Structures are given as C-alpha cells and as structure tokens.
C-alpha cells in the first residue's frame, strides 16, 4: 500500500459523493433537515477545505484561554480548522496517538482502512464520502490491552475561518482498556464555515469508554458530525451528545452491539435558541443476544429553534434477551419553536424487552404555580424548571469541571449570565 | 357487525377453522375483461349510468394516477402488481335495474351471506342493524331503508346516492381524500364501483347501527369501494364494516377509500372488522388491502372515532386518520392488528391537529406470530394554530415466536408550545409467569394464550359495540389457533 493507493481510494470516495450528492429532505433520514442553508451560506463548493494552502492558523493565548474548560485536568489534542496542532497539544507518552496526516505517510495501510468508504454503514450519506475523500487530519488513538487512560483526552476542534474542516478520528480500545474522550467543538469569529467530522470507535472485549461530544460552535457555523461505534463482548459505552451551538447541526450516532453482554447508554441534550436547528439521528443495532441499551435524549427549544430527534433501535433475529429502553422529552419555550421526533423500534424476535417513550410539552403550570406561591418571580420559576429539565441529562457528565462547564454554557445561552452563575452555585 | 364474523369454529382440524369464509359462490357474473384505460372507465361509468361530472372526475383521477408511482416506503414486501391484469368491474348478472327489495335478490346471493352469518332477510325482521351488502363490485342489498327514511337518514349504495342525491355526493366526494392524495386513492377514484353512502341530517341520532358487508367473490378482480359518511350538525352515527373473500392462490387487490365528514358537534363512530382472506400458512394467496381512510372534523366539537380489528389480508396498508380542524374536536383511533403465517401489516393513524383544544387518543395493539411482520406507523402533527391540543398515544406489540417481527414508527411534529403530546410504546412476548399462572390453574395453554391476548386487546375491544366485541374476541381466537405452541 502506498500513498498513490490512498489517492485512488480518495478518488473513489469522491465519485461516490458525486453520485449521491448532498442529502435532500426527500430522503427519509433528512425529512426535517434542509441543507439548503449550508448551500446558501457556503455555496455549491461547500466542501472546499478551510485551509487550502499550508498556512498554519495562529491563535493568541488569550483566545485559547477563553475556549478552555476551567479546572479540567485532561490530556489535550487541538485541531484548528481541521489541522492538528502539535504545539498546542499535550498527549500522554506510551499511548499511540498519531494525527491522520502522519499516519498516511508512516502507516498507509492503517490510513487506508480508516478512509475506506463503507456504504453499509447505518445512515450512510454523502458527507461521509466527502470526508473520506478530503479529510485533512484527525486523531488516531490505539489503547493497548489492559491500559487505562489516567485522564480524559480532550479533543478540541476550533473553527476560525470560512470553508470546511473535514476531520476523521479513529479510536480503538483493545481488551479491557479504558478511556474517556471529550470531543469539544468551538469556534472564534464570524466566518461561516462547516465542520464535517467522522469518528469511528472500536471497542474490544471488556473495554470501557465514556465519550462526550460538546458542540458549541459559533452561530454562523454549520456542523455535520458522525460517531460510529462497534462493541465487542462485554464492552461498555456511555455517551453524551450536547448540541448548543451552530446555525444547523446534525449528528448521526450509530452503535453496533456486536458481542454478547455489550451495553451502551446514549444521552443527549439539544438546547438551542434563535433560528438554530439541531438534528440527532441515532441507531442502536442489537446484532447478538444479551445486550443492553439505554437512550435518553432531551430537547429545550426557544425562539424559532427547531429540534429533530430520530432514535432507531433494531433488534435482529436471534438477538434474544435484548433489553432496550429509549426516552425522548422535549420542552418548547416559545410559540415559534418546533420539534420533530421519531422514536423507532424494529424488532425481529420475541424474547426481548423493548420500550420507548416520547413527550413534547411546555413547562408544567402547576409546578410554576408552586414556585410562584413560594415567592419566586415568574422568570425565576421558569429558569429553575428549565434548568431541572435539562440537567437530567447533564448531571451525569463527569468529571465535575466538565459538567460545570457544560451546564454554564447551556444556561447562559437561555438566561442572563449572572442568573446562570447563580443557579449553578 | 356481529354478523360479519360469525365464524363458528368447530372442533375439526385447524386448517378447516382457520378461514371459514374461504368458499366461492357459483353465480353467473358479468365481468369486464382485465385491463385499465380511459375506455374501461367510460364503460364503468356508462354501465352505472353516471352523470357527466362524475365521469370527468374519474378520468381526471385516472390521468393523475398514471403520473404517480406506487408507494414503496412501507415495511411490506410483495411482487410488483400488474394493474393491467386486473378486472375492474364484476357484478352478479341481473336484469334491468337493481333489486327493489330483498325478494328480488338472487337467492344464491342471500345464501352466500347466510353462510357468512349475515342473514339479510332475518336481519330485516329481527336484529337492529341495517346492512348494505357489497358483492364484488356492486351493492346487492340494503336493508332497513324504510325505517331509516323515517328518521331522515340516507343509507344506500353510493351508486344510488349519485342518482338520488347528486348534490350531496358532489359536494363531499373527494373533499377529504382528494384524487391527488396517493397512488391507491387515485386508482380508487378512477375505478370505484360501489360502496356505501350515509347522510345523517342535523340533530338526528341514527336509530340503529349501520353496517356494510364487503365480499370479494370473482377471481382476477379487484374491489374498489368508496364509502362516504356525512354527519351534519349534532348528528350521531355508528357504522360497522366487515369483509371476507374466498381462499385463492392468487393475490387480489382491494383498494378502498373511506371519507368521513363530521360537522358541528357531530359524532361518527366507525368500526371495522377486516377479515379478508389472509393467504395460507405458506404465504400463498391472500388479499392486498391498500386502503385510504380519513375523517375530517370540520365543525366545532366534532368527534370521529376509528376502531379496527385487522386479522385478515396478506398485506394491510392503511392509516385511518383524523383531521381535527374544528375547535374542541376529538379524534380517536383504537386498533388491534394480528399478523400470523406470512401476513404483513403496515398500519397506524394520523392525527392532524389544526383547531384549538383538539384532543386525540391513539391506542394500537399489534400481535405478531409465525412469520408475521407488523408495523405501527403513526403521525401526530400539531400545527401552530393548535392551541392547547393534546395527544396521548400508546402502541404495544406482542410477539409470539422467534420468526415474527414488530416495528414502531411514530412521527411527532409539534409546532405549538401549548400542545401536549405523549407517546409510549412497548414490545414484549407473552409473559412466561402469566402463562405459568394460568396453566397451574388448569387452563390449557392455548386458552391461556387467548386469555392473555384478550387482556392485551381489552382497551380496544371495549370501544367496539358489544355484540361486535364478542365476535372480535372469537375471531382473534380462531386466527390465533395453530399460531401458538
């Protein structure tokens, strides 16, 4: 395998994109998300990488400081506009972490297997193909058997200019390894850009992973993200996907429970205001017996925001003793907000436990009355109840500095900075 | 509709009891040759002596149908249908006009209905249910006309309605399900041959249950009936519908359209027991049941309630829906669907809330056994104008056996923050502890399963008129025979 071979592979991926094009609302999986906004903002060549020449973007120390998560003791890998920044990163020794670009040169076979386009992937679409064709950089992490990453690994993506950042991560945990990954998406400035990331996670038998995805990009930015997880026997995966920013964001999250005893818990919060649009599509595939899945997504929608949630759980023929429960709750705070939810169950055998629930509503008037009767102002009462609703998801974020950071970001979006401050202390 | 499902199970083999309505009536029939084009539609229209406007409407529907593609989004699989191989009109041969009374009806036909447990003649004397019997393409008899006339209720076949009440038909036909609605609705609009028409005038409570019984008899035909029910201000009507067909190795198409219109404070209750031939245990034959049913609560405080028990058909594709246009209107959907052997069902409902304070309830119970494949597909849409709208949906599936499948696809689209929507769904098998409990008390396994299934469906059966519920229970038990154990 040579670099030339990778070039052919990327060429094929590009052809697949040219055949498929961008998803349209006529496609069932994109019924509620119109990508016309991306075309309008970025033009037909929306895929053009953000940094065409080899110029290294630079950020001031104070700018970086403003984006940091206070008090979080973590390893860190920084990507600016889709390029890995070794100087800003701090990575553990003995852990095999290589940015994709170096991998292409050093170990092309591995790079090729990462970039291979698999059309059978759940929710496959043109963005994945484009990502394979154009991915500029990304993290490749391999954790050997029985190793435990002592601190969370924070992967920060900073968008600073217009154009698209195509990022490809691959994280593999060998037997009984443990890791906590935090993907943090943020940005600076007013330039309209797009983040198109693909993260593939492969968990070997007995391994455990926490994965948190915090998306708080600038209001002029667009975000297309994908997380594909494969779990072997007795592995555990817990994820949080929090969408607070971007003009339009879409996250496709798929988990394949491929070994008996595997368990996953997917949590999510989309808390958006303005004209933002946040779309989460999840697929949990119970391919083998004795697997467990839990899913809990909540939405808080203010102003003219629109939230989309589609959670699909498939239990295959022969996957007996599968246990799945899914819940989706949505809170509409404004007369112009909208939510479109579709919790799906597809079950192909009888020896299973499966349930899902979905609710949409406003704040409970009786609860509001209770708080007002105890002297809270209307606005305060609403804040308390909204906070309590959303915190059901955020409360399970770990460690505490990360939780505080996300809670603060979420609530200062909806309320005055001081109020959020007060609520959280 | 108790009469629709009196399938007395005898203690003979399962094969004999499984589909008791599977016989063929030897009767002279007049059938149009297979194929569909504008001339066929003109002939159907001419044979029925229809006015010009209806022919034009049919032709417009046909032209639209030609531009449409068959829907493929549902979770049902079947080989492509050759729409040119179907005969679009079949009628028992008769002379001159239709029968004036039951005495003029062919005794063979009466016998058929008697065999099915629908004694039209006795019905007229004893039971309090008015029946419109539709045999293949045409309505053969409508009972109780006189008594209904006294109350001012119009209950007749739609062909008669076109002749006798053209203004009403013209005003409402296609106003809920337009010809452009979907592929099968367009086809139905082009070729529909008969069906029932009900008009309940202002303030009238229909004095008895109305009922239509549909029977497919001829082979190579499709049945395309059209039902139109209008309840004027403050009126009430309860309508029951039942269906059967002979056991044949070929698949037959049934594409009906039902339109309900409820004006101010009117109430319509529409119950269906669908027992078309489901095909044999290897999935050969059976009816393709592609039906569009929709109710429009046009007036303030109107209420439309759908109750369905779906045990038949090789493939079911139907979504009885409510458009809650009037303020304070109410929509309800109660469904039990059973798929066994190789039956497939993709069914559910749509509740479209447009008016203020509109309420809807969805209770869907699916039972899947053998290689059955069942999907609940529902939509709850609350428009910006739907202040204080409420919906509660519950979809439960019961799986029997490890080769069957059950799917849930609820679509939720909410644009108003004062709306409240709750959806819950669960999928499980028959509890081993429940079975054990029954067995321990000396109840044979098959009876225990029936008991548990009946309990599972109770919420829906409670909505059926009483005698109908008893029959639905029995039908379910007969259908489940052989599926368990």
User: What pLDDT does A120 receive?
Assistant: 85
Tell whether A48 lies on the interface with B, counting CB pairs under 8 A. Answer: no
B-chain residues within 8 Å CB-CB of A360? 412, 414, 419-421
Q: Looking at CA atoms only, how far is residue B179 from chain A in angstroms? A: 22
Q: Looking at CA atoms only, how far is residue A329 from chain B in angstroms? A: 9
Nearest CB to A360: which of B73, B419, B426?
B419
User: What pLDDT does B389 receive?
Assistant: 92
Does the pLDDT of residue B435 top 80, yes or no? yes
User: What pLDDT does B218 receive?
Assistant: 61
Rounded CA separation A158/A275 (Å): 22
Tell whether B406 lies on the interface with A, counting CB pairs under 8 A. Answer: yes
Structure tokens at B314: 């090789």
User: What pLDDT does A182 receive?
Assistant: 96
Nearest CB to B422: which of A333, A353, A359?
A359
Closest-CA residue in chain A for B423? A358
A-chain residues within 8 Å CB-CB of B423? 343, 356-359
Q: Do B406 and A345 touch (CB under 8 A)?
A: yes
Rounded CA separation B374/A398 (Å): 41
User: What pLDDT does A163 receive?
Assistant: 87
pLDDT tens track for A31-64: 999 998 888 888 888 888 877 555 666 778 888 8
B-chain residues within 8 Å CB-CB of A346? 405, 407-408
Does the pLDDT of residue B17 top 50, yes or no? no
Q: Do B409 and A344 touch (CB under 8 A)?
A: yes
pLDDT tens track for A158-201: 998 888 999 999 999 999 999 999 999 999 888 889 999 999 99
Q: Taking residues A15-28, report their average pLDDT.
A: 90
Parallel, antiparallel or unpaired: strands B29-31 and B90-92: antiparallel
Nearest CB to A338: which of B407, B415, B427?
B415
A-chain residues within 8 Å CB-CB of B427? 345, 347, 352-355
pLDDT tens track for B149-170: 888 888 888 888 888 888 888 8
Where do the DSSP E strands lie in A176-335?
Answer: 178-187, 193-203, 208-215, 222-231, 236-243, 248-257, 263-272, 277-286, 292-301, 306-315, 322-332
Query: Is-contact B283 B256, C-beta < 8 A?
Result: no
Q: ipTM of this model?
A: 0.86
Q: Looking at CA atoms only, how far is residue B323 from chain A in angstroms? A: 19
Does the pLDDT of residue B204 top 60, yes or no? yes
pLDDT tens track for B283-298: 777 888 888 999 999 9
Tell whether B14 lies on the interface with A, counting CB pairs under 8 A. Answer: no
Q: Would you list the domain boundaries of chain B?
A: 2-480
Beta bridge partners of B142: B132
Tell whether A358 lies on the interface with B, counting CB pairs under 8 A. Answer: yes
Nearest CB to A347: which of B73, B399, B410?
B399
Nearest CB to B425: which of A334, A345, A362?
A345
Collapsing DSSP to helix, strand or coil, B171 comes out as: helix
Nearest CB to A350: which of B399, B412, B417?
B399
Q: Do B422 and A341 touch (CB under 8 A)?
A: no
Nearest CB to A345: which of B400, B411, B427?
B427
Parallel, antiparallel or unpaired: strands B286-297 and B196-200: unpaired
Does the pLDDT of residue B243 top 80, yes or no? no
Q: Phi, psi at residue A137, to the nearest 5°? A: -160, 180
Structure tokens at A249: 């964001």
Q: Taking residues A347-359, report their average pLDDT.
A: 89
Interface test with A, best of B371, B378, B379, B417 (most A CBs within 10 A): B417
Rounded CA separation B283/B106 (Å): 34
Collapsing DSSP to helix, strand or coil, B144 comes out as: coil
User: What pLDDT does A339 receive?
Assistant: 94
Tell whether B71 lies on the interface with A, counting CB pairs under 8 A. Answer: no
């Amino acid at each position: 395998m040579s670099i030339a071979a990778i070039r052919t592979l990327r060429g094929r991926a590009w052809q697949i994109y040219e055949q498929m094009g961008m998803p349209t609302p006529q496609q069932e999986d994109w019924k509620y998300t119109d990508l016309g906004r991306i075309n309008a903002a970025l033009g037909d060549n929306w895929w053009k990488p953000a940094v065409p020449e080899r110029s290294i973007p630079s950020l001031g120390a104070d700018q970086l400081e403003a984006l940091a998560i206070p008090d979080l003791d973590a390893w860190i890998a920084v990507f600016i506009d889709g390029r890995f920044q070794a100087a800003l990163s701090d990575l553990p020794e003995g852990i095999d972490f290589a940015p994709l670009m170096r991998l292409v040169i050093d170990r092309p076979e591995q790079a090729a297997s990462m970039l291979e386009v698999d059309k059978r992937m759940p929710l496959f679409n043109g963005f994945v193909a484009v990502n394979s064709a154009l991915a500029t950089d990304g993290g490749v992490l391999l954790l050997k058997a029985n190793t435990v990453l002592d601190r969370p690994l924070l992967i920060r993506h900073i968008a600073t200019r217009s154009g698209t950042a195509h990022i490809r991560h691959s994280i593999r945990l060998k037997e009984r390894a443990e890791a906590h990954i935090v993907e943090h998406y943020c940005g600076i400035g007013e330039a309209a850009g797009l983040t198109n990331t693909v993260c593939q996670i492969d968990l070997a038998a007995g391994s455990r992973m926490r994965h948190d995805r915090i998306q708080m990009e600038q209001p002029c930015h667009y975000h297309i993200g994908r997380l594909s997880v494969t779990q072997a026997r007795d592995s555990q995966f817990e994820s949080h996907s929090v969408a607070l920013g971007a003009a339009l964001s879409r996250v496709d999250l798929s988990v394949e429970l491929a070994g008996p005893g595997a368990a996953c818990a997917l949590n999510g919060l989309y808390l958006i205001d303005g004209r933002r649009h946040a779309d989460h599509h999840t697929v949990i595939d119970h391919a083998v017996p004795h697997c467990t899945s839990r899913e809990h997504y909540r939405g808080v929608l203010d102003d003219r925001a629109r939230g989309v949630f589609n959670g699909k759980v498939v239990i295959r023929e022969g996957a007996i003793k599968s246990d799945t429960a899914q819940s989706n709750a949505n809170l509409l705070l404004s007369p112009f907000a909208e939510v479109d939810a579709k919790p799906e169950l597809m079950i192909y055998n009888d020896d299973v436990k499966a349930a899902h629930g979905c609710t949409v509503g406003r704040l409970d008037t009786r609860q509001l009355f209770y708080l007002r009767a105890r002297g809270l102002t209307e606005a305060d009462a609403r804040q308390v109840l909204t906070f309590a609703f959303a915190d059901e998801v955020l409360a399970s974020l770990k460690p505490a500095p990360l939780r505080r950071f996300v809670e603060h970001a979420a609530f200062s979006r909806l309320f005055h900075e001081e109020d959020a401050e007060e609520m959280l202390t | 509709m108790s009469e629709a499902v009196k399938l007395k199970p005898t203690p003979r083999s399962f094969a004999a009891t499984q589909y008791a309505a599977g016989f063929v009536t030897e009767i002279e029939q007049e059938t149009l040759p297979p194929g569909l084009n504008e001339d066929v539609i003109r002939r159907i229209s001419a044979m029925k002596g229809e006015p010009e406007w209806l022919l034009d409407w049919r032709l417009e529907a046909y032209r639209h149908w030609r531009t449409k593609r068959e829907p493929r989004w549902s979770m049902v699989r079947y080989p492509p249908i050759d729409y040119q191989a179907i005969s679009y009109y079949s009628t028992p041969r008769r002379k001159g006009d239709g029968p004036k009374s039951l005495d003029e009806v062919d005794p063979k036909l009466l016998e058929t209905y008697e065999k099915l447990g629908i004694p039209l003649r006795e019905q007229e004397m004893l039971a309090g249910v008015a029946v419109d019997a539709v045999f293949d393409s045409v309505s053969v008899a409508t009972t109780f006309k006189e008594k209904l006339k006294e109350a001012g209720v119009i209950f007749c076949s739609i062909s008669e309605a076109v002749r006798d009440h053209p203004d009403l038909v013209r005003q409402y036909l296609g106003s809920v399900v337009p010809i452009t609605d979907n592929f099968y609705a367009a086809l139905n609009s082009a070729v529909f041959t008969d069906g029932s028409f009900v008009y309940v005038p202002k303030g009238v409570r229909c004095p008895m249950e109305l009922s239509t019984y549909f029977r497919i008899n001829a082979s190579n035909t499709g049945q395309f009936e059209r039902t139109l029910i209008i309840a004027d201000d403050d009126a009430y009507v309860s309508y029951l519908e039942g269906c059967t067909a002979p056991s044949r190795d070929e698949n037959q198409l049934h594409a009906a359209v039902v339109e309900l219109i409820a004006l101010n404070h009117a109430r319509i209750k529409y119950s269906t027991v669908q027992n078309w031939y489901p095909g044999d245990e290897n999935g050969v034959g059976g009816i393709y049941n592609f039906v569009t049913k929709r109710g429009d609560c046009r007036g303030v405080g109107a209420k439309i309630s759908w109750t369905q028990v779906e045990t038949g058909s090789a493939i079911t594709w139907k979504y009885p829906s409510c458009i809650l246009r009037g303020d304070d209107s109410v929509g309800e959907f109660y469904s039990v669907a059973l798929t066994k052997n190789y039956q497939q069902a993709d069914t559910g409902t749509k509740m479209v809330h447009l008016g203020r304070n509109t309420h809807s309830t969805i209770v869907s119970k699916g039972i899947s056994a053998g290689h059955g494949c069942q999907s609940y597909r529902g939509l709850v849409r609350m428009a910006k104008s739907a202040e204080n709208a409420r919906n509660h949906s519950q979809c439960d599936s019961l799986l029997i056996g490890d080769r069957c499948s059950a799917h849930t696809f609820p679509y939720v689209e909410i644009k108003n923050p004062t709306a409240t929507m709750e959806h819950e769904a669960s999928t499980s098998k028959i509890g081993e502890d429940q079975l054990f409990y029954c067995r321990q008390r000396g109840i044979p396994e098959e009876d225990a399963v029936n008991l548990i299934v009946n309990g599972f469906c109770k919420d829906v059966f409670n909505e059926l008129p009483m005698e109908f519920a008893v029959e639905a229970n029995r039908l379910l038990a007969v259908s489940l025979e052989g599926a368990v154990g």
